[in-house]
Amino acid sequence: MNTGKNKILILAHSFPQHENDYRGRFILDYVEDHPETDFHIVAPFRGKSFETKIGSAFIHYFNWDHDYLAGRRVYQPATLFVTLKLLFGFFLNAKKLLKKYDFEKIFACWAVPAGFSAYFLKKLCKINYDVWLLGTDVNKFINFPFVLPETLKNADRIYSNSNRLSEIVTNKISGLNIEILPTRSSLPSPVTPENLLKIDKNNVSVAFVGRLEEVKGFDFYLKIAEKVKKERRDVAFFAFGDGSMRNSAASAQEKELISWAGEISLPELSYYADFIDILCITSRSESMPVVFWEFHKKSKILSFPVGDIPLYSEPDNICKNVDEFVRKISDFRKSF
């Protein structure tokens, strides 16, 4: 259907697989913030290829039989194989769509693998592209030869979701002009979860929200919970999300260290957010996490000094190590 609007093709390797999947949700927020443009999104889907529509975006999923890049070590052969396979997946599926639609440009979410695919599409299909730097692409590939420099130097425009990420890139690669485009988002109206976790409103409720991965510091969060519970019995720890450390989450739940909800919908997360006193961001590296904006008006946020978080936080809410998290949570007094 020809709507008369400009068309942009988005490439994104981390994109929702179902309504409870948080990955890449901010891309859909970006789409809805630009109603003047028709967006088509190419993304991998576990187990099958199909097309659908989410909101105003046209989604073109291609079959994918591997886990996500998150948590993988970049120099391992398996990681390089998966990254190359994603590159080809984006290239081949985007090329088909370029023959079918008249796109103004490509918008690559993450410089690798999407941006690197866009680089080859520009060379071979003569279409320009923009790149949105989002954290893992830079943190994993900043010291990798050729890939980031060529991808960024050939882009029309480069965006970064944080000042810190922009600094990392410009300190390594000269001659780039990077604009800040935050991944801000807000939670929708709350819906009561079907399998409701028990919440005692008299307790202090602490939460981890996001992928259960080492890079997100879920292991740190479990250490914090263990130490705080030795000092206070009126603090409850919750985890919302899934990932490669799900066995650790299940084990911690059996030991009654945490209550783990797994992946839940955003309206359900919004329900819990109204009862969360403290959100912990324990990532080993970040740019500017979406969850910060989702919770910054609802909860106290304690975080490691990663990415741009210190720019938007009170100094006392920044923790240099696990023990500082423990002390600040142990000292927290709930106001009724």
Query: Residue 57: which CATH number?
Result: 3.40.50.2000
* pLDDT score for 16: 87
* pLDDT score for 335: 76
Report yes or no on 190 lying in a domain: no
Report yes or no on 196 lying in a domain: no
Same domain membership, residue 114 and residue 33: yes
Same domain membership, residue 253 and residue 124: no
Same domain membership, residue 137 and residue 28: yes
* pLDDT score for 287: 83
Report yes or no on 186 lying in a domain: no
**Distance between alpha carbon 95 and the CA centroid of its chain, in Å?**
26
DSSP secondary structure of 28-46: HHHHHT-TTEEEEEEEEEE
Same domain membership, residue 123 and residue 231: no
Last residue of a domain, one of 118, 148, 180: 180
Residues sharing a CB contact under 8 Å with residue 42, sequence separation 6 or more, in sequence order:
9, 10, 11, 12, 60, 62, 90, 93, 94, 97
Per-residue pLDDT of the chain (336 residues; tens, 9 = 90+): 556 789 999 999 999 887 767 778 899 989 999 999 999 999 999 889 999 999 899 999 999 887 666 555 656 676 677 788 889 999 999 999 999 999 999 999 999 999 999 999 999 999 999 999 998 888 888 888 899 999 999 999 999 999 989 999 999 999 999 999 998 887 888 999 988 999 999 999 999 999 999 989 999 999 999 999 999 999 999 999 999 999 999 999 999 999 999 999 889 999 999 999 999 999 998 888 989 999 999 999 999 999 899 999 999 999 999 999 999 999 999 876
Same domain membership, residue 229 and residue 106: no
Phi (first) and psi of residue 144, to 5 degrees: -85, 130
Same domain membership, residue 223 and residue 137: no
* pLDDT score for 70: 57
Report yes or no on 170 lying in a domain: yes
Same domain membership, residue 161 and residue 225: no
Last residue of a domain, one of 164, 180, 196: 180
Report yes or no on 115 lying in a domain: yes
* pLDDT score for 185: 80
Q: Which domain holds residue 325?
A: 204-331
Q: Using omega within 30 degrees of 0 as the cis cutoff, is the peptide bond preceding 77 cis?
A: no
Report yes or no on 244 lying in a domain: yes
Report yes or no on 128 lying in a domain: yes
Same domain membership, residue 233 and residue 175: no
Structurally, the chain folds into a number of domains equal to: 2
The amino acid that residue 222 corresponds to is L
Last residue of a domain, one of 128, 147, 180: 180
Same domain membership, residue 134 and residue 97: yes
Same domain membership, residue 310 and residue 252: yes
Report yes or no on 299 lying in a domain: yes
* pLDDT score for 336: 62
Same domain membership, residue 249 and residue 165: no
Do residues 130 and 30 lie in contact, with contact meaning Cβ atoms separated by under 8 Å? no
Whether this model's pTM surpasses 0.75:
yes
Same domain membership, residue 39 and residue 148: yes
